[in-house]
Amino acid sequence: MYVCVCKAVTDHQIRCAVRDGIISFRELRMELGVATCCGRCAPTAKQVMAEALGDEFPERPKAVVLPRSRACAFA
Ligand code: FES
């Protein structure tokens, strides 16, 4: 599915970027351009990224995306 309509970024692309070594939202923005236009996709993009990081690094604590926040924290 499309996560970022402005930059035509899909959840698959986000998961692939994480698999290729992207570990921060800043890096994801620079790599794919997600959330660099209107920004409405940021919460969903962060959630997809957090899930992908959890899948990629299952030994790490589960990622938690805080509501109405730009921060992504780990519990
Ligand atoms: S939908 Fe992603 S920047 Fe607008």
All domains of the chain in start order, with CATH: 2-74 (1.10.10.1100)
Burial of 68 (0-12, 13-18, 19+ CB in 10 A): exposed
Dist. CA 45 → ligand 1 center (Å) = 10
How far apart CA 75 and CA 68 sit, in angstroms, is 17
Task: Summarize pLDDT for 41-71 with one digit per residue, the tens.
Answer: 999 999 999 999 988 777 765 555 655 555 5
Give the mutation target among 40, 46, 47, 48 for probing the ligand 1 site: most ligand atoms within 8 A of CB: 40
* Between residues 72 and 45, the one the model is more confident about: 45
Mean pLDDT of the chain: 86
**Which residue's CA is minimally distant from atom 2 of ligand 1?**
4
Closest atom of ligand 1 to 5 CA is 1
How far apart CA 57 and CA 30 sit, in angstroms, is 22
Of 75, 69, 19, 16, residue with least CA distance to 46:
69
